[in-house]
Structure 1
C-alpha cells in the first residue's frame, strides 16, 4: 500500500501499477481505481485518462449512444424474462399509457435481480390489467436492490386475519391478567430476530410500503373463531379468554401491490415462533391439528 508521500509524487490522473498482482490487490482497495472504472464504464473518463483524441461533442455523442444501447438491452432482457415466465393463461390488454410509463422507467433498470422483479410487474399487468398502479411503479423505481431485499424480508413475515386480506406484520398480542385495573400485558414477537429490526421498518415506512403506525385490533371475544393466514397456511384461532387483541403494522396499498409480485414464501423459524405465540393464547385449529392452550 502506498504511503501519503508516495502518492503525492504520482501524476493525478494515473493509477500506479507495479505488476499484475499488485494491480489486482489495489483494484479491490483503491477508491481511485473504483472511480476510474466507473468513469470508463459510463464514458466520462476523459479528464482521468487523458490519452484520447476525441472532441467533447464526440465524447458526448458516444456516451449518449452507449446509454441508448444499454437501455435497449435492459428492456430486451426484461421482456424476455417476462415472456419466459408466461404460459397459456388468459391475458388482457394493458393500457397504452401504462406500457409507455413502464418502458420509460424499466429502460434504466440495470441490476439483473431488479430486472426479474420488473418482468414480474409486466407479467402481472398483462394477466390482470389495472392491478399495478403508476404510483406503485414509481415507488418501485425508487427502490434500490437493498430496499427490495428489506421488503422481501417483511413479506416473508406477513400474515392476514379476519375478513381483511391485506398483509400485516404481527408484532404481538395484548392481554389482561388478574385485576381489571392492572395494565395489560404484551407478548411480543421480536421481528429483529428475523432480520427486520425497527430501523429497517422505518426505511420501509419511508418508502411508503408500510404504514407508520402500530395498530391494534378490536378485542377478540372468547368462543368466536378468527381466520388467520400465514403464507399459504390457514388457521382458525379462538381466544382462550376475553380481551385479547392483536398488534400489527399494515402494508400500504402500494406495498400490497408490490408484495403480490413476490408470492407466498415463509420464514420457517418465524412460523415456529408465531405458532408458539398463538398456541399460548388461542385454541388453534387447522386441517392438520387442533391445539388447546394450557391456561
Structure 2
C-alpha cells in the first residue's frame, strides 16, 4: 500500500503512477509542497523528542542524532528526485512496470545526492526508465553515483558532438593541424577514464545502403555515397566511440546542439573530393 499523499496537484496520471511505484518499492512518504516547511519543523521536533526518550547520553546520543539527520536528508533527496521525475512525465507517456530491485538500486546510488543539477540528471533517468523499462543498467547507475558536477558538465558538453546514426555516435572534426576542434586531449582522456568513451586511432560509421540518413538533434540529414562499391560506404567519425554506458548517459544528460560545429562539419564533409555528401532534409 502506498504511503504517498496524493493531495498535491500538478502531476499527470503517469507521474502519479510513477510516484506510486516508487512508494511501493521503497516506502517513500511525500508531503505536499504547501505543508513541506511545517512537516520539516515537526520532524525536527520529533527527532529531538525521540532521542530524549531513548535516554541516550554522550557518544550514543550524538550517533543517534547523526543517524537521524543523515536519513532525513536522504529522504529529502529521494523525494526531490522522485517528484522531479514525475513532473517530467505528461499524459501521453506510458509508464511501464519498473523492476523494484532496480528502483532500490537506483535510490541506493542517488540518496546522498544533494546538488540540484545532479538531482535533475537522476530524475531524468528515473522518468526515462519509467517510460521504457531496462533503459539504464545498474552499471550506469554506479558510474553516475561517482561523478562530480564538473564531470557531469563535461559529459553534457561532449554531447554536442553526438549524432543519431545507426546508434549514438560522436563525430569529431579535426583542424588543419590535426587537432580536434572544440575539445582537447585532457577532456577526452577524462571522458575515457570515466568510462563514457573509448579512444582509438579512428572510428567509422559503416552503412549498408548507398543512400541513408542521420540526425543531429532535430535536424534530419540525407547521407549519400558517391561510389557504387559498398566497401566505400563509410564515414570517418574520429577518435572517440561511446561505450554502452556512455550511450545511456548521453541520452539524458541535457546536451544542446552547437550549430557552429555543425556548419564546420558539413563544410568539411561536403567537398568535391569527399566520398560522401551530407545535406539537411528536414528540421523538426
Question: Under a length normalisation based on structure 2, what TM-score does the superposition of the two structures give?
Answer: 0.68
Alpha-carbon offset, residue 236 of structure 1: 2.2
Aligned pairs (5 A) from 1:36-51: none
Do the aligned residues in 2 keep the contact of 1:214 with 1:247 (CA within 8 Å)?
no
Separation in structure 1 between the aligned mates of residue 134 and residue 206 of structure 2, nearest angstrom: 36
SS of the residue corresponding to residue 211 of structure 1 reads strand
Residue of structure 2 in register with 1:178 after alignment? none
Evaluate the alpha carbon distance shift between residue 224 and residue 201 of structure 1 in structure 2; reply closer, same or farther with a 3 A threshold: same
Q: 2:250 aligns with which of 249, 255, 259?
A: 259
Residue of structure 2 in register with 1:175 after alignment? none
Residue of structure 1 in register with 2:64 after alignment? 61
Separation in structure 2 between the aligned mates of residue 111 and residue 137 of structure 1, nearest angstrom: 16
Do the aligned residues in 2 keep the contact of 1:136 with 1:258 (CA within 8 Å)?
yes
SS of the residue corresponding to residue 278 of structure 2 reads strand
Rg larger in structure = 1
Do the aligned residues in 2 keep the contact of 1:157 with 1:169 (CA within 8 Å)?
yes
Q: 1:215 aligns with which of 202, 219, 238?
A: 202
Separation in structure 1 between the aligned mates of residue 109 and residue 123 of structure 2, nearest angstrom: 12
* 2:260 aligned with 1:273: no
Separation in structure 2 between the aligned mates of residue 77 and residue 62 of structure 1, nearest angstrom: 23
Separation in structure 2 between the aligned mates of residue 218 and residue 106 of structure 1, nearest angstrom: 35
* 2:81 aligned with 1:78: yes
Residue of structure 2 in register with 1:157 after alignment? 161
Do the aligned residues in 2 keep the contact of 1:237 with 1:284 (CA within 8 Å)?
yes
Residue of structure 1 in register with 2:151 after alignment? 147
SS of the residue corresponding to residue 167 of structure 1 reads strand
SS of the residue corresponding to residue 199 of structure 2 reads coil
Do the aligned residues in 1 keep the contact of 2:129 with 2:135 (CA within 8 Å)?
yes
Residue of structure 2 in register with 1:229 after alignment? 215
- Please tell me the root mean square deviation across aligned C-alpha atoms, in Å: 2.9
Alpha-carbon offset, residue 287 of structure 1: 2.1
Alpha-carbon offset, residue 264 of structure 1: 6.3
Alpha-carbon offset, residue 260 of structure 1: 1.3
User: Which stretches in structure 2 are left out of the alignment for 5+ residues?
Assistant: 1-56
Q: Deviations over 1:46-68 (max 9, x none)?
A: xxxxxxxx723322222222111
Separation in structure 2 between the aligned mates of residue 84 and residue 288 of structure 1, nearest angstrom: 30
**Richer in helix (by share):** 2
Separation in structure 2 between the aligned mates of residue 138 and residue 188 of structure 1, nearest angstrom: 38
Separation in structure 1 between the aligned mates of residue 281 and residue 118 of structure 2, nearest angstrom: 37
Separation in structure 2 between the aligned mates of residue 87 and residue 205 of structure 1, nearest angstrom: 35
Q: Deviations over 1:75-126 (max 9, x none)?
A: 1111111111112211111011001111211211110000001011110111
Number of aligned residues: 218
Separation in structure 1 between the aligned mates of residue 148 and residue 206 of structure 2, nearest angstrom: 39
Separation in structure 1 between the aligned mates of residue 72 and residue 201 of structure 2, nearest angstrom: 46
